Amino acid sequence: MSEHFDFDTVIDRRHSHSIKWRRYGDDVLPMWVADMDFASPVPVLRALQARIAHGVFGYEGPHPDLIEAIVAWLARRYGWQVSPEAIVLLPGLVSGLNLVCRAYGYIGDHVVMLTPVYPPFLTAPPHQGLVADQVPLRPVADGPRWRYEIDYEAFSAAIGPRTRIFLHCHPHNPVGRDYTPAELERLATICLERDVLIVSDEIHADLMLNGQHHTPMAALAPAIAERCVTLMAPSKTFNLPGLGCSFAVVTNPRLRARLEQAAAGIVPHVNALGMIAARAAYTEGEAWLTALLAYLRANREALLAFVDEHMPGIRCTVPEATYLAWLDCRQAEIPGNPYRFFLDKARVATQNGTDFGRGGEGFIRFNFGCPRSLMLEALERMTKALHHR
């Protein structure tokens, strides 16, 4: 008998300390931050319960069995062979973005990125005294849909004599693109020719919605791997963000040493429960992930159909990955900012498109990683607000 996974039950999170559910009023449906509303896999819960039963929570170093599980996961999911020494554990991807800016840049250096993009991309460079240079992706209309392409000429032109780092989002949050090997190779070629380090945030790599194969940037060729730092985590895949366990894959030992040196005394160790959860997820969570992806695909299709039928003037990307929809509200005749409109008039909290940098004006990001009933209720509220604006 096949195992049953329940993604339809609505779990009450309002009475926890959830940032997602407590930022706004009790009458607001939160569809904003990238935090799913599903319970984590049962093997993860069992492993955590067993560790808690031990009762002692002293300082712990990296768990060798977790490193082995990560290496095996990368090989199994992506055909990417890396050595255990290449794995550097981190307490989170946001701290990882700030850490790479600290490790590989000097005050006044420039960091280039493709926008609209995950907001910490925009803030990490200035936090470390660097300059963030935004290169807008090119939106292409496809009937009622949007699709984004890379403007390679603009990307190349944005790289100047003090550009040190390319912060790459792959799969891309919020537009949902999982870049093809050809697209990745073209970006990598430009970076290698200009001696720009590639930092590839691939936290959503496991969340492929079309059954396609994700290709890590560093897996393309040894020469690219030598100039690439990859940031990953089980947090989005298995809904573990609050446990704070992420990692970098750095095959170049010199780059790895610089990263570890920059972290010393500043970046905390990964906590014991985060490591326990990550290992259980990577070793026993694959069946749960397969079921999750099927559920997210169905949510995506239901969302797209609903928007097409009931929300005239709004266009949506078709996310190839992630559980995040990027909605273009510019033709919907919404008074003012669409994020504020839907929050005030529909009591639905989305993510403000302007948070994502250039190209985000007039857009909102909508999280469909939740029970379908919650997603549809939010969309119905938004539709009523549109009809009564």
Q: How far apart are CA 118 and CA 116, in angstroms?
A: 7
For range 109-129, the mean pLDDT: 98
For range 88-111, the mean pLDDT: 98
For range 25-48, the mean pLDDT: 97
* CATH T-level fold of 19-41+286-387: Aspartate Aminotransferase, domain 1 (3.90.1150)
Q: How far apart are CA 172 and CA 191, in angstroms?
A: 18
Q: How far apart are CA 194 and CA 190, in angstroms?
A: 6
Radius of gyration of the chain (CA): 21
Strand, coil or helix: 199:
strand
The model's pLDDT over 286-321, given as tens digits with 9 standing for 90+, comes to: 999 999 999 999 999 999 999 999 999 999 999 999
Handedness of CA 201, 204, 210, 212 (dihedral sign): positive
CB half-sphere exposure, 373, CA atoms < 13 A: 6
CA distances (Å), origin 304, targets 263, 273, 299, 345, 376: 43, 37, 9, 22, 11
Please, where in the chain does CATH 3.90.1150.10 lie? 19-41+286-387
Residue 311 structure tokens = 């929300």
For range 233-248, the mean pLDDT: 97
pLDDT at 377: 98
pLDDT at 389: 76
Contacts by 351-354, CB closer than 8 A, 24 or more apart: 351/32, 351/33, 351/174, 353/116
Q: Which of these CATH numbers, 3.40.640.10, 3.40.50.1820, 3.40.50.2000, 3.20.20.330, describes 48-284?
A: 3.40.640.10
For range 232-256, the mean pLDDT: 98
Strand, coil or helix: 1:
coil
Q: How far apart are CA 321 and CA 172, in angstroms?
A: 8
For range 26-54, the mean pLDDT: 97
Least Cα distance to 7 among 51, 41, 52, 46 occurs for 41
Rounded to 10°, the helix 93-104/253-263 angle is: 110
Q: Given the structure tokens 């554990």, which residue do they identify? A: 89
Reply yes or no on whether the pLDDT at 207 is more than 90: yes
Phi, psi of 228 (to 5 degrees): -140, 140
Neighbouring residues of 194: CB distance < 8 A, sequence distance ≥ 6: 156, 159, 163
Phi, psi of 166 (to 5 degrees): -110, 110
User: Quick check: 274 and 44 in contact, CB under 8 A?
Assistant: no
Indicate the Cα dihedral angle 301, 151, 205, 20, nearest 10°.
-70
Total residue length of the chain: 389
Give, as one character, the DSSP assignment of residue 312: T
Q: What is the pTM for the complete model shown?
A: 0.97
Residue 75 structure tokens = 């090989």
Q: How far apart are CA 319 and CA 303, in angstroms?
A: 11
Please, where in the chain does CATH 3.40.640.10 lie? 48-284
Neighbouring residues of 20: CB distance < 8 A, sequence distance ≥ 6: 13, 30, 32, 33, 35, 37
The model's pLDDT over 314-370, given as tens digits with 9 standing for 90+, comes to: 999 999 999 999 999 999 999 999 999 999 999 999 999 999 999 999 999 999 999
Neighbouring residues of 77: CB distance < 8 A, sequence distance ≥ 6: 205, 206, 214
For range 9-29, the mean pLDDT: 96
Percentage of the chain beyond pLDDT 70 is 99
Reply yes or no on whether the pLDDT at 76 is more than 50: yes
